[in-house]
Structure 1
Amino acid sequence: MGNELNRDVHPEYPVSWQAAALNGLLRGTMKPMTSLLLRNTTGMALASRVMGLGERVPGILPNHVTIEQEKFGACSGEWVRAGDGLDEGKVLLYFHGGAYFVCSAATHRPITWRLSLTADRPVLSLDYRQGPVHTLAESLSDALAAYECLLERGYAPEDILLAGDSAGGHLTLASLLALRDRGMPLPAAGVCLSPWSDLSNSRSRVNHWSDPMLPAGRVDWLARRWTDGLDPCDPLVSPVYGDYTGIPPLMIVTGSTEVLREEGQRVALSARENGVPVTYEEWRRMPHVFAILADVLPEARMVFKHISRFFDAVESRRAGAVLSDAEAAA
Structure 2
Amino acid sequence: MTQDPIDTVVARVRAVYSRWRRDTPVSQMRADWDALFDVEVDAEVEPVAACPVPCHWIRPAGTRRDAVIIYLHGGGYRVGSVASHRDLMARLATAAGVQVLGVDYRLAPEHPLPAAIDDAVAVLDWLEQIGIAPECTAVAGDSAGGGLAISAMLSRLKDGKPSPAAAYLMSAWTDLTASGASYTERSELDPIHQRHLILAMAQGALGADRAADDPRWSPLHAPRDLFGRLPPMLLQVGERETLVSDTVDFAMRAQAEGAPVQFEIWPGMIHVFQQFAGDLPQAHEAIAAGGHFIARHLAPAAKTE
TM tier, smaller: 0.7 to 0.9
Aligned to 1:212: 191
SS at match of 2:65: coil
Listed as ranges, the gaps of 5+ residues in structure 1 are 1-15, 320-330
CA contact 1:208–1:215 (8 Å) conserved in 2: yes
Q: How does 1:248-327 map to 2 (within 5 A)?
A: 248-315=231-298
1:239 aligned onto 2:239: no
Distance in 2 separating the partners of 1:49 and 1:308: 28
Distance in 1 separating the partners of 2:233 and 2:38: 33
Of structures 1 and 2, the one scoring higher in RCO (CA 8 A, sep 6+) is 1
Aligned positions, number: 292
Distance 1:101 1:162, change over 3 A: same
Aligned to 2:33: 51
Deviations 1:245-295 (A, max 9, x none): 211011110000111111111111011011111120110111111111111
Aligned to 1:82: 60
Q: How does 1:1-330 map to 2 (within 5 A)?
A: 17-23=4-10, 25-26=11-12, 29-30=15-16, 33=18, 37=21, 40=22, 42=24, 44-51=26-33, 54=35, 59-62=39-42, 65-84=43-62, 86-200=63-177, 202-204=179-181, 205=183, 206-227=185-206, 228-242=208-222, 243=224, 244-315=227-298
Letter in 1 for 2:220: V
CA contact 2:69–2:138 (8 Å) conserved in 1: yes
Q: CA deviation at 1:59?
A: 2.1
Aligned to 2:303: none
Distance in 1 separating the partners of 2:235 and 2:148: 13
SS at match of 1:90: strand
The list of structure 1 runs, each at least 4 consecutive aligned residues, that deviate by more than 3 angstroms after superposition, is 26-31, 40-46, 201-204
Distance in 1 separating the partners of 2:38 and 2:237: 28
CA RMSD of aligned residues (A): 2.3
CA contact 1:110–1:293 (8 Å) conserved in 2: no
Aligned to 1:8: none
Q: CA deviation at 1:43?
A: 5.8
SS at match of 2:169: strand
TM-score normalised to structure 2 length:
0.88
TM-score normalised to structure 1 length:
0.82
